[in-house]
A and B are shown apart, each in its own frame.
Chain A
Amino acid sequence: MILKMKKEDLSTFLDSVKEWGELWGPTKKENRVTYSKVDSLAQMDLKATRTIIPPKKFLYPPRFTMFDYDEDGFVERRGDVPRRILFGIHPCDIHGILIMDKLFLETYNDPYYKERREKTLLLGHSCIPDDKCMCMATNTDFIAEGFDLFFTDLKMFYLVRVGSTKGHDLVRMKPDLFSRDLGRNEILTYTEYRNWKNSQFKKQMDFTGMPYIFELGYNSPVWDQLGDKCLSCGQCSMVCPTCNCYNVTDEVELGALEGTRDRFWDSCMFREYSLVAGGSNFRDKRADRLRLWYTHKLQAYIGEFGKPACVGCGRCVETCPVDINVVSVSTALKEQEVGK
């Protein structure tokens, strides 16, 4: 279902949906864009390209307690999750959430993720690519599912795509703001917008041959050269919308056999990632760990699902302090040379 909304009505709409839960949106402080809890549209910056951390942090917090335990057993800690409405999420990040959904909700259901996913409404918003965006190459520049509402800014008005019954319920809170009066004008305006957006990409990437390139390049010296540069800081994992790895630790109360079992973000760039008891480390070298990260995103995932586990958001390009990212690594492997 696609609806139309006047641009000036967005503020009223967002004010009314706060009745359902907290309103969160992209805000800019000292050139840093983050999702913040806001009171109104006026506090948001909808022109910002990407937040530092993707919205995965709402569905899967950087650190949280899974259980309280003592000698008698483990008691689940759940139910303290607030209802949130995330406004202004871009297509790449919604694609990232779809990949997280597959991981956390299939085979075994992760109840912590599921609870937050159900209590978080995703209100997407169209975006304008900058020089780091690669979503055209990863085919994630548009999104057809996974959101509750998606707002496409067509300058004169919004097209609002309804993606779920919850999204529809939000619309029903202010039905007068929406119209189904859609026709020739909307189609032409939308077509013009698509053509214009497609022309805005500055970065051209081609991931189609990657499974072959990775297999061929398994022993390439390129990995050692990249490994020499890598700091193993793990920032690439923290900012990547599809990095899901976590570690678990038991915190103990002093002098008592009780405590909490906590879960927190981990990165396969860290040395301890594959270390087993007794001291064997399956990926002791930085080059081995880098290869795992990129093999997983650009070879293994393509091999299994036909598309990369990279949504082209450009965060690794922006974040890595030594210029190791999906672009530089793919290029280095293809050209068998590491850039400066």
Chain B
Amino acid sequence: MSKLCVVLDEREVQDNPFKPDMWRIVRRYPLTSDVNFFQARPIDVDEALKFSYLPGQFVMMSVIGEGEAPFCMSSSPSRPGLLEFCIRNVGTLTGTLFGLKENQTVGIRGPYGNGFPIEKMEGKDILIVAGGMGVAPLRSLLLYVLDNRDKFGKLSYLHGARNPGEMLFREEFMQLKEREDLHCLLSVDKDDTGKWTEKVGVVTTLFKDLGPIDAKNTVAAVCGPPIMYKYVMQNLVQLGIPKHQILMTLERRMRCGVGKCGHCAVEYLYTCIDGPVFSWWDVLHMKELIGRGASDKTIA
């Protein structure tokens, strides 16, 4: 059959990028009152080890009968076989997801998005700042750096939560404090238990304990609620970290994950394929990535 035109015949027919594969939920347990931890594994076991991704990337997850939404991985690609997600129950889709039991299935397609530029970050000091749900994508990066410890310089992890009960992965991060190959600083805005042994105050108070850093050789990765960005950015810029080395991962409504449906557009960028990881420099000249119209809204 003759071909239609040049625009079309340059491309080979690919698999349908919208078709989810079926995955099995192998584990689910609560992290806090409204956040659950999920582990999933492909039904087709051969696929389990083939699924590779970068910290900061996301998948489109289908809950049968409910629809599809983007979720970032909280697991690290350095530990293949299972995908882990840290999900807050905020809507109808997550509501149904929270009703699923082990061995029930979800659809997954991806991974999508740019993810963190891991190769460019190698050799650099890494400073991670997580607030609230912002830990979901940053745990992937943290575990990746820990698993490839010799490829990176100094590692600092700053984590803020509202209170000890709301802190995600509390046991896991408390144990990280024992390690000597990273500087782990934890805080809560308010201690309502009387048993909190770490810092009390917003996450930026942790910067005082950070000590001297080699700013030009540091890459910062930030994720948290919008209110956090303003103050964290001030601190990071004051420390002298170059604006293009301050990275953050953002959230938008997405319907496709592959740059077609339009929903996640910001000016000429699509959050799904050009992001979700953007630099502070991107944010400064792309008005709607965080600022202005959306400044009081959740960005996780």
Instruction: Please give the residue numbers on chain A whose beta carbons come within 8 Å of chain B beta carbons, in ascending order.
Output: 66-67, 69-74, 76, 78, 98, 101, 103-105, 107-111, 114, 117-118, 145-146, 148, 163-166, 169, 218, 244-250, 252, 257, 259, 261, 266, 268, 273-283, 285, 288, 292, 295-296, 299-301, 303-304
Q: What's the least CB distance linking A146 to chain B, in Å?
A: 7
Q: A111-B16, A246-B255 are in contact. List 6 more A-B contacts (CB 8 A).
A: A110-B18, A148-B5, A245-B262, A259-B65, A273-B253, A282-B297
A-B residue pairs in contact (CB < 8 Å), sample of 12: A73-B20, A73-B21, A105-B7, A109-B13, A110-B260, A111-B17, A145-B5, A164-B4, A266-B255, A266-B261, A282-B288, A301-B268
Residues of B within 8 A of A278 (CB): 88, 90-91, 298
Once bound together, how far apart are the Cα atoms of A66 and B20, in whole Å?
A: 12
**Interface residues of A: mostly helix, strand, loop or mixed?**
mixed
Q: Does B263 contact A (CB under 8 A)?
A: yes
Residues of A within 8 A of B287 (CB): 218
Residues of A within 8 A of B62 (CB): 69, 74, 250
Q: Does B107 contact A (CB under 8 A)?
A: yes
Q: What's the least CB distance linking A178 to chain B, in Å?
A: 18
With both beta carbons as reference points, the residue of chain A lying nearest to B104 in the complex is identified as: A71
Contact A257 B65 (CB under 8 A): yes
Once bound together, how far apart are the Cα atoms of A282 and B287, in whole Å?
A: 12
Partner of B273 from the list A67, A104, A107 (CB cut-off 8 Å) is A107
Partner of B262 from the list A148, A246, A261, A276 (CB cut-off 8 Å) is A246
Residues of A within 8 A of B298 (CB): 276, 278, 280
Contact B2 A248 (CB under 8 A): no
Q: What's the least CB distance linking B182 to chain A, in Å?
A: 31
Contact A277 B90 (CB under 8 A): yes
Task: Give the residues from 265 to 299 in chain B that come closer than 8 angstroms, CB to CB, to chain A.
Answer: 265, 267-268, 273, 287-288, 292-294, 297-298
Task: Give the residues from 33 to 87 in chain B that come closer than 8 angstroms, CB to CB, to chain A.
Answer: 62, 64-69
Once bound together, how far apart are the Cα atoms of A73 and B22, in whole Å?
A: 6
Residues of B within 8 A of A101 (CB): 7-8
Partner of B64 from the list A69, A104, A244, A279 (CB cut-off 8 Å) is A69
Q: What's the least CB distance linking A264 to chain B, in Å?
A: 11
Q: Does B243 contact A (CB under 8 A)?
A: no
Contact B261 A245 (CB under 8 A): yes
Contact A107 B288 (CB under 8 A): no
Contact A105 B5 (CB under 8 A): no
Residues of B within 8 A of A268 (CB): 262, 265
With both beta carbons as reference points, the residue of chain A lying nearest to B93 in the complex is identified as: A277
Residues of B within 8 A of A280 (CB): 294, 297-298
Given known A66-B18, A105-B8, A296-B267, contact A248–B259 (CB-CB < 8 A): no
Contact A248 B256 (CB under 8 A): yes
Residues of A within 8 A of B205 (CB): none
Once bound together, how far apart are the Cα atoms of A66 and B105, in whole Å?
A: 20
Once bound together, how far apart are the Cα atoms of A155 and B22, in whole Å?
A: 60
Contact A246 B5 (CB under 8 A): no
Once bound together, how far apart are the Cα atoms of A108 and B256, in whole Å?
A: 11
Residues of B within 8 A of A108 (CB): 14, 17, 258-260, 273
Residues of A within 8 A of B4 (CB): 117-118, 148, 164-166
Residues of B within 8 A of A274 (CB): 252-253, 263
Q: How many residues of B contact A (CB 8 A)?
A: 53
Partner of B68 from the list A110, A117, A165, A248 (CB cut-off 8 Å) is A248
Contact A72 B22 (CB under 8 A): yes
Partner of A118 from the list B8, B105, B261, B268 (CB cut-off 8 Å) is B8
Contact A276 B252 (CB under 8 A): yes
Partner of A246 from the list B19, B253, B261, B265 (CB cut-off 8 Å) is B261
Once bound together, how far apart are the Cα atoms of A231 and B125, in whole Å?
A: 51
Once bound together, how far apart are the Cα atoms of A166 and B263, in whole Å?
A: 35
Contact A283 B258 (CB under 8 A): no
Given known A252-B65, A296-B267, A299-B267, contact A76–B262 (CB-CB < 8 A): no
Once bound together, how far apart are the Cα atoms of A304 and B269, in whole Å?
A: 10
Contact A300 B268 (CB under 8 A): yes
Given known A76-B16, A280-B297, contact A275–B253 (CB-CB < 8 A): yes
Q: What's the least CB distance linking B226 to chain A, in Å?
A: 9
Q: Does B179 contact A (CB under 8 A)?
A: no
10 smallest CB-CB distances across A and B, nearest first, come from: A277-B91, A245-B262, A300-B268, A278-B90, A108-B258, A280-B297, A300-B267, A165-B2, A164-B5, A280-B298
Residues of B within 8 A of A250 (CB): 62, 65-68
Contact A245 B263 (CB under 8 A): yes
Contact A109 B67 (CB under 8 A): no
Contact B11 A109 (CB under 8 A): yes
Given known A69-B64, A276-B253, A278-B91, contact A105–B261 (CB-CB < 8 A): no
Contact B105 A244 (CB under 8 A): no
With both beta carbons as reference points, the residue of chain A lying nearest to B22 in the complex is identified as: A73
Residues of A within 8 A of B69 (CB): 277
Once bound together, how far apart are the Cα atoms of A281 and B287, in whole Å?
A: 16
Residues of B within 8 A of A148 (CB): 4-5
Once bound together, how far apart are the Cα atoms of A164 and B8, in whole Å?
A: 11
Partner of A103 from the list B17, B90, B260, B293 (CB cut-off 8 Å) is B260
Once bound together, how far apart are the Cα atoms of A104 and B261, in whole Å?
A: 9
Partner of B294 from the list A110, A252, A282 (CB cut-off 8 Å) is A282
Residues of A within 8 A of B65 (CB): 250, 252, 257, 259
Proximity string of chain B (77-117) to chain A, C-beta cutoff 8 Å, 1 when within and 0 when not: 00000000000101101100000000001010000000000
Residues of B within 8 A of A244 (CB): 260, 262
Q: What's the least CB distance linking B85 to chain A, in Å?
A: 14
Contact B259 A107 (CB under 8 A): yes
Contact A109 B19 (CB under 8 A): no
Residues of B within 8 A of A259 (CB): 65
Given known A218-B287, A275-B253, A280-B298, contact A266–B19 (CB-CB < 8 A): no
